[in-house]
Amino acid sequence: MTQSTASTHAFIAALPKVELHLHLVGAASVPTVLELSRRHPGGPVPSSEEELRAFYAFRDFPHFAEIYADVNRLVREPEDVATLVTGAARDLAAQNVRYAELTVTAYSHQRMGMSNAAITEALDLAARAAAADHGVRVGYVFDIPGEAGPEAARATLDHALSTPPEALVGLGLAGIEQERPKYRDAFRDAFRAATAAGLHSVPHAGEMSGPETIWEVIEGLGAERIGHGISCVRDPRLIAHLKETQIPLEVCPTSNVCTGQVRDLASHPLPRLLEEGLFVTLNSDDPPMFATTLNGEYGVAARVFGLGEAELAALARNAVRASFLGERAKREIIDEIDQVCAAGPASA
């Protein structure tokens, strides 16, 4: 490692961060998944580290979704939900993350037999433990698995409005984007009700489909942030709209490569998004499944795309500003970022 590389690595490690695009099940570290696999044996998820890492070699997005569902089925009890949250907080704390908005597919936990009240209690207890034990504040986004259609939309909305965890901040929409058009009205209705109740709209779009999916979440779901959004580069009018409105994009480079949405990191449109003046944040998505971390994504931005410390700090500030923290909490984290920048490489 050269002195310059070591300096950048130290800067990234010292930089206070916010993570906005992190799926709860996908955030489960290898040790956590192995713990759940041994706790609930007999399924397809391996119980040895070597086999699990091989299990995470994805052919394409549908294969990734299949593997993700297998891991998801290990989450069978409220204790498992809490284990995921506190494990994620531990891993985030090691990367100097101050706040994370965890995407929770509550519907999948309901399908495993958990009640809304039990899921919410586990999330509440775990959020308090994350703050007390690891110094990481947690917000939750309940996402609808898009391919599950109106039933999932209704069940997720009902949970969000009737028995929400204390830290619930938004409603999301994920899953196979190509399945969404036939359920468009159900998703629009759900997001209309959620935003009317004060929740934020944070759907995925433009990850595995074209700009039309991004337009739909903007015009039909009132998106305040967009998960991924990378196919916007195919539509100059959409690029212009995103630049004008400054709707934040939750960009996850390594994820896009691992699920086959982008050929390789060098082909990723992140530099183009920045050149166009879009509001970009860096995120890790499902980090252990993709052998990355949030720090690793900042490292990719530096190593592959040539971003310097000032540009990395700007991305960190973007994530703070795009979060649903209160203004005072945002200011505190941005002040911390500024202090690290002022200290210089030697102190970092």
Q: Is the Cβ–Cβ distance between 250 and 281 less than 8 Å? A: yes
pLDDT above 90: residue 187: yes
pLDDT recorded at residue 43 = 85
Question: Where do the structural domains in the chain lie, given as residue ranges?
Answer: 3-347
Beginning with the edge strand found earlier in the chain, give each strand of the sheet holding 249-251 in spatial order: 204-205, 226-228, 249-251, 280-282
Q: What DSSP assignment string belongs to 164-224?
A: --TTEEEEEEES-GGG-GGGHHHHHHHHHHHHHTT-EE--EESSSS-HHHHHHHHHTT--S
Cβ-count burial of 335 within 10 angstroms (0-12 exposed, 13-18 middle, 19+ buried)?
A: exposed
pLDDT recorded at residue 123 = 98
**pLDDT digits 0-9 by tens, 299-331:** 999 999 999 999 999 999 999 999 999 999 999
How far is the C-alpha of 29 from the C-alpha of 245, rounded, in Å? 36
- Amino acid of residue 207: E
Short-list 48, 193, 165, CA closest to 109: 165
Which pair of tokens denotes residue 48?
């040895």
Express as a percent the part of the chain with pLDDT over 90.
Answer: 81
Look up the CATH number of domain 3-347: 3.20.20.140
Q: Is 207 a catalytic residue?
A: yes
User: Of 101, 177, 207, 224, which is the active-site residue?
Assistant: 207
pLDDT recorded at residue 310 = 97
pLDDT recorded at residue 1 = 56
Averaged pLDDT, 81-103? 96
Q: How confident is the model at residue 347 (pLDDT cuts 50, 70, 90)?
A: very low
pLDDT above 90: residue 63: no
Average pLDDT, the chain: 94
What does DSSP assign to residue 96? Answer: T
What does DSSP assign to residue 285? Answer: B
pLDDT recorded at residue 162 = 98
Which pair of tokens denotes residue 259?
């699920």
Q: Is the Cβ–Cβ distance between 187 and 221 less than 8 Å? A: yes
pTM, 2 dp: 0.94
